[in-house]
Amino acid sequence: MLALITRRLMTAIPTLLVIILASFFLMRLAPGGPFDGERPLDPETQAALQQAYGLDRPLWEQAWLYVLRLVQGDFGPSLVYRDFTVSELIAQGLPISLTLGGLAIVLALLVGVTAGLFAAVRAGKAADQTIMMGATVATALPTFVTGPALALFFGLWLGLLPVSGTGEGVAWLIMPVVALALPVSGAIAKLTRAGLASVLKQDHIRTARARGLSETKILFKHGLRPALVPVASYLGPAAAGLLTGAVVVETVFGLPGLGRYFVQGALNRDYPLVLGVVTLYAALIILFNLFADLIYGWLDPRMREG
Amino acid sequence: MLKRHFPIFLVLALVMLALLLPFLLPWSYDQIDWEAVRAPAFSGSHIFGTDEIGRDRLARLAAGTRITLMVAIAAALVSLIVGIAWGATAGWIGGRVDEAMMRIVDGLYALPFMFIVILLMVVFGRSILLVFVGIGLVEWLTMARVVRGQVIALKQRPFILAAEAAGTPSVAIMWRHILPNIAGVALAYLMLTVPQVVMVESFLSFLGLGVQEPLTSLGILVKEGADDMDMTPLGLALPGGLLVMILVCLTIEGERLRDRFS
């Protein structure tokens, strides 16, 4: 277990470095800079700004300095939100994005596994087909359609939930989390159903039945755990999907999370902000993949070695 | 046939409609009817009414569907070509090369890809060509994995071994024996890639990073509809519903094909 973690972390560092450097140089290839506003600045101001932010130095030197500072936890200053450092913006946005993503994955797991379980027990019957159809539709629901649709229905028409901003209490979380969780829960339901259907055909289940165990016990004690292996291997991609979905949801519901900063930063060519968010996202995804592998190992002991 | 494959026929019908509508409608998708700004549905020649600056909704839906599906098919083809080339090479050569090539695929899987695509869009300008090259380059990973698995399984089969023993060059074996045998599976995954790409393109367009005005796509229409939904919910419901319908239909057919071939 410990060996797996250390090995994964060892490969994570070069991966991260490659992502950071690739994004760094990609950003700098872009025509236009962060100081191209509505009115062009006079050349002297432009040069002074370039110098102040170190943009006049050779690219390699800038990249090297960036990585050096990053290691010390300094993401640099934001070029557009002039009064803030990128670290401050991330510190503001990250908790919101993590809350959204975390709640969404918990909700998706709860709904998805329950629905998949229910469908597998009723395999072939009408309930199974209905649930699976619903799951297929759910996976095809993009957050940028469900988000506004939910906001329109529950926010504007029924007036039950706040349409934008964070506000008091937890009501503001409901619609964003539901919009995020829907497609993921559909995918999880399908995986659970497929996993369980194949596990229930295996010998050890037949043995358990022959021994006269109750169906509930067979299902939860012997069936569910191996059936969840495919779900665990989906958690990595699911996390990546949730992070991208969060970009839309934060834009739609006007939440000051990381995703919104990312889009704003990309549109404004705020190099350090975009780089910082990409780096953070990459690190989060790598971390979550590791976490998913650990769950995987717990569910299927044969995987622990590899 | 028609009943069983209803989803795909529905999509084909929508495509036909999207292609034919420009010849049937009196309005083009970017033409402003100054007499009828925000017209409700079924007013005059505007079947679905007009948007907040007086453009015909139906014409815009048709144009958006055309662009979205065109980008999707082009990007899916890019992913097909790159995926087959990569996967087949890795599977055929095997050994260290295979391991290295698949490591790269695994590594790329772990990347926050959407963000890299967004970066690409920002860096190279938001041209429609780049939208699908960028998406195609992201979506080839699954194809590469599947094709590699197929090639490795095929390599052991007697007819391939016989062709090798007869001295057929690798390239010829690849073209004549391997590729025809993986075509079915590749087709199934191509079908599943299309809705993925539709999703990515609409996502980018929704954020203003994909297809640019005056061109339109379903993502842009959803965005426009969402911005104006308190005034005219139809503006959100139509493109949103159409998009979801296309995605659901393609996913159902793709999964069916995949289950048949694996």
Q: Domain containing B102 — which CATH number?
A: 1.10.3720.10
Q: Is residue B1 part of a domain?
A: no
With contact defined as beta carbons under 8 Å apart, do B114 and A244 qualify?
yes
Cα dist from A295 to A5, A186, A190, whole Å: 12, 20, 19
CB contact under 8 A, B207 and A278: no
Residue-level pLDDT at B97:
92
Contact residues on chain A for B247, CB-CB shorter than 8 A: 140, 142
> pLDDT, tens digit, for every residue of B216-256?
899 999 999 888 888 888 888 999 999 999 999 999 988 88
- The torsion defined by the Cα of B92, B95, B101 and B105, in degrees rounded to 10, comes to 90
Predicted pLDDT at B245: 94
Q: Are A281 and A114 in contact (CB under 8 A)?
A: no
The answer to whether the Cβ–Cβ distance between B251 and A139 falls below 8 Å is yes
User: Nearest to residue B180, comparing CAs of B150, B202, B204?
Assistant: B150
- In this prediction, residue A238 carries a pLDDT of 84
Question: Can you give the three-state secondary structure of A96-135, one letter per residue?
Answer: HHHHHHHHHHHHHHHHHHHHHHHHHHCCCCHHHHHHHHHH
- Residue in chain A nearest B114 by alpha carbon: A244
- Shortest distance, CA A210 to any CA of chain B (angstroms): 32
User: Which one of B68, B111, B142 makes the best mutation probe of the A interface by having the most chain A beta carbons within 10 Å?
Assistant: B111
Q: A33 to chain B: nearest residue by CA?
A: B123
pLDDT computed for residue A31 by the predictor: 62
3-state helix, strand, coil in chain B (%, to 5): 75, 0, 25
Closest C-alpha to B249, from B70, B6, B4, B2: B6
The per-residue pLDDT for A35 is: 65
Query: Quick one: pLDDT at residue A39?
Result: 63
**In a domain? residue B91:** yes
DSSP A223-241: IHHHHTHHHHHHHHHHHHH
For A16, residues 6+ apart whose C-beta sits below 8 A from its C-beta are A279, A282, A283, A286
Residue A25: predicted pLDDT: 82
Contact (Cβ atoms closer than 8 angstroms) between residue A237 and residue A243 = no
A282 at interface of B, judged by CB pairs closer than 8 A: yes
Is B62 part of a structural domain of the chain?
yes
Q: Do B119 and A278 touch (CB under 8 A)?
A: yes
Q: How far is Cα A7 from Cα B23, in angstroms, rounded to an integer?
A: 61
Please write down the HEC assignment for all residues of A215-227. HHHHHHHHHHHHH
Of residues A147, A135, A202, the one with CA closest to residue A176: A147
Which pLDDT score is estimated for A305?
56
User: Which chain B residue lies closest to A25 (C-alpha atoms)?
Assistant: B123
Across the interface, whether the CB atoms of B110 and A262 are under 8 A apart is answered: no
Interface test with chain B among A144, A153, A267, by most B beta carbons within 10 Å: A144
Evaluate the omega torsion of the peptide bond into residue B112 and state whether it is cis, within 30 degrees of 0. Answer: no
The hierarchical CATH code for the domain A93-259+289-304 is 1.10.3720.10
Structure confidence at residue A32 (pLDDT): 61
Structurally, chain B folds into a number of domains equal to 1
Mention every residue, 6+ apart, whose C-beta is less than 8 A from residue B68: B198, B201, B202, B217, B218, B219, B243, B246
Note the pLDDT of residue B60.
Answer: 92
Q: Quick check: A286 and B236 CB within 8 A?
A: no
**With an 8 Å Cβ cutoff, are B123 and A148 in contact?**
no
B37 within a domain of the structure (yes/no): yes
- Whether B246 maps to a domain, the answer reads yes
In DSSP terms, B55 is beta-bridged to: B32
pLDDT of residue B126: 65
CA distance A203 to chain B (A): 23
pLDDT at B88: 93
Domain around B144: 6-261
d(CA B249, CA B6): 8
> Which residues of B lie inside 8 Å of A (Cβ-Cβ)?
107, 109-116, 118-125, 195, 199, 202-203, 206-209, 219, 222-223, 225-226, 229-230, 233, 236-237, 240, 243-244, 247-248, 251-252, 255
For each of chain A's 306 residues, which pLDDT tens digit applies? 777 778 777 877 887 888 888 878 877 776 666 666 556 677 777 777 777 777 777 888 888 888 888 888 888 888 777 788 888 888 888 899 889 999 999 999 999 999 999 999 888 899 999 999 999 999 989 999 999 999 888 888 888 888 777 777 788 888 999 999 999 999 999 999 999 988 888 898 889 889 988 888 888 888 888 888 888 888 877 887 888 888 889 988 888 888 888 888 877 777 788 888 888 888 888 888 788 878 877 887 776 654
How close, in Å, is residue B162 to chain A by CA atoms? 35
- The confidence score (pLDDT) of residue A306 equals 46
User: What torsion do the CA atoms of B163, B167, B172, B178 make, to the nearest 10 degrees?
Assistant: 30
pLDDT less than 50: residues of chain B: none
Domain boundaries, chain A: 93-259+289-304
